[in-house]
A = this chain, B = another copy of it.
Amino acid sequence: MGMVGGGRNAFIGAVHRMAAWLDGKIDLVAGAFSSDPEKSKLSGADFHLAPERVYSDYQTMATSEAKLPKGERIDFVSIVTPNHAHFPVAKVFLEAGFNVVCDKPMTFNLDEAIQLRDLVRKTGKVFALTHNYTGYPMVKEAREMVRRGDLGRILKVVAEYPQGWLLDAIDAEGQKQASWRTDPSKAGASSCIGDIGTHAENLGRYISGLEIDELCADFTTFVQGRRLEDDGNLLVRYKGGARGILYASQVSAGEENDINARVYGTKASIEWHQERPDDLIVKYPDAPRRIFRRGNGYVSETAKRFTRLPSGHPEAFIEAFANIYAEAARAIAAEVQGKPIPGDVDFPTVDDGVMGMAFIATAVKSANEGSVWTKLVI
């Protein structure tokens, strides 16, 4: 693969690389790692790349790689830049004939998302979005339970993503991650909901299968001088009548990254937390609670397919992230070989990205208009 963004010291780039390398099937062979050509070069050296495939900019990279013979050029590009660059980079590579793996949120705004979706459809290339939390085996087990009807009709979804890292004004102090994520020109119209609320939305939707009909969003910027919200609380009404609560915060003291979801049905309810990813708690009205644990014989074939280690040897974030890569790679391998994409590949697509951008846009609209109920329209 090739990579755009993710140079030295970039957190998310390092995560993508570990996820790609874990199974020993994906190599990093080219990259434009930084908008600063010198930094890109140094990063390429860090990763032991051939110097001629470390590019000073992504346009050059797309053009040059496209000229290489099949089998030598990259099979796909991984885009790990700040949000505002996702769309232009993806566009260039798709048009140059490459498959794409892209970090979330998919684009800068909903309009770009729709353009990107149309482009993906037109080019027929594989496009995978790294909503990584859906890569956890027990999240997949949860989805299976809902699909099989174990929970009955879904009544309620509670999805939370609390963080505390922006409690101090580290963006104003120039911390790089914090700065661009709270900068409307780079992050888009939302910080907290755009960066992590969208994960909670995606997680809830992935498990429950429900789509949002309308929502009411209350955004707050608790840290003075910050330009985007750092806390967002939403009430949700799903199509079909279910209700939801969805919240994300970047100013919740001492919270790390415990994204979690509870889904309540007429027959049972489920609960999952990233801090204990191998556990899926199921509660019944009239039977003992059950803890389904990754890696056991009794879990679904789907959950088993995404498991590397025996039960009790914990798996975590990297494996989940690698599951997105592994599935995308299956699709990409087929695409590159001109074979049909396997029917059972399971990774977030450009359509998930459109939905995510529509969610963000709707939440921003609701919040801006006084937290009124607002329909989600694509």
* Contact surface of A with B, Cβ cutoff 8 Å: 11, 14-15, 17-18, 21-24, 28, 47, 151-152, 155-156, 158, 163-164, 167-168, 216, 218, 220, 222, 231, 233, 235, 237, 241, 243, 245, 247, 249, 251-258, 264-269, 274-278, 282-293, 295-298, 308-319, 370-373
Contacts and interface: CB of A to CB of B under 8 A. Distances in A.
A245 B243 contact: no
B233 A243 contact: yes
Contacts of A252: 155-156, 264, 269
15 contacts: A11-B310, A152-B253, A216-B218, A252-B264, A254-B268, A255-B283, A256-B295, A257-B313, A274-B313, A274-B314, A276-B276, A277-B314, A313-B316, A314-B316, A316-B316
B318 A371 contact: no
A255 B269 contact: yes
A216 B371 contact: yes
B21 A24 contact: yes
B235 A253 contact: no
Contacts of A314: 274-275, 277, 314, 316-317
A204 to B, nearest CB: 14
Contacts of A254: 268-269, 282-285, 289
Contacts of A274: 312-314
A110 B260 CA distance: 37
B233 A235 contact: yes
B243 A218 contact: yes
A348 to B, nearest CB: 18
Given A164-B269, A252-B269, A276-B276, 7 more contacts: A18-B23, A156-B231, A235-B371, A256-B293, A256-B296, A309-B317, A371-B373
A161 B83 CA distance: 38
A266 B237 contact: no
